[in-house]
Amino acid sequence: MRNNRGPGPRGGRGSGAGRAGSDGGLTGRGLKTRVKTAAKRSSSSTWWLERQLNDPYVAEAKKRGYRSRAAFKLLQLDEKYHFLKPGGRVVDLGAAPGGWTQVAVDRVQSAAGEKENRRGKVIGIDLLAVDPIPGAEIIQLDFMDESAPDKLKAMLGGEADVVLSDMAASSTGHAQTDHLKIIGLAEAALQFAREVLAPGGTFIAKVLAGGATNDLLAPLKRDFATVRHVKPEASRKESAEIYVVAQGFRG
């Protein structure tokens, strides 16, 4: 089971891209690039490569130093719902390769050099190794390991203002099975969020559109003042992913 956000550029800048232009928009689009199918390359891999080369968010992520295009999903969610604030305490579940973590570090100002009274805290976890990000503390461990929640709580050292989950299990190719697997991860993330969120806190989790989503909505509506289904502009149109944004944790 993978708790990461899929392949993405691993290097890049070690911390979040600078605050100048740290919004979720695009600075421009280039000309469309076409890739010829090589003898040793399948048509599906050619399609993937061509999509990457022509994806404006991939180009923008490289320009700004984000480790993945997924950073723009979190930027766009925060621009709309304003949950990442200076001094905030954030837990990032499924942190690899680090795009969401970079955004969180920048927005809550958890890196060294920030004003002490406004410095936030960002911790993360992923089954895969994540290159260090200044301002964040990340452990390599499966979130579904029974020891993971207690280790995260010890790292957090108190309550959290935001719990993020962009976790996704490896695809089986069977839509209903994949849907149920990601709902299971979201439910586990919600249980953890209940244990660490401060009153008024925010919980965000990726799910796939499907019937079992209703099983997740019932406890969310009980525990949070507002619950929304959102598909950020940066989420690919062909993807079934949506995000539940729950705010106003009742404690």
Please give the positions annotated as active site. Answer: 206
Q: What is the largest CA-CA distance in the chain?
A: 59
What whole-number distance in Å separates Cα of residue 218 and Cα of residue 142? 26
d(C-alpha 75, C-alpha 194), whole Å? 24
CA distance 149 to 38: 46
Separation between Cα atoms, residue 138 and residue 42, nearest integer Å: 36
- 100 belongs to an annotated ligand binding site: yes
The answer on whether 126 is annotated among ligand-binding residues is yes
Is 142 annotated in a binding site? The answer is yes
Does residue 98 have a known ligand-binding role? yes
Bridge-partner residues for 230, per DSSP? 243
Pick the closest to residue 244 from 187, 170, 173 (CA basis). 187
**Cα–Cα dist 113/224, whole Å:** 34
The verdict on whether residue 150 carries a ligand-binding annotation is no
Residues 171, 4, 63, 235, CA torsion sign: positive
Instruction: Enumerate the known binding-site residues for S-adenosyl-L-methionine.
Output: 98, 100, 126, 142, 166
Binding residues, by number, are 98, 100, 126, 142, 166
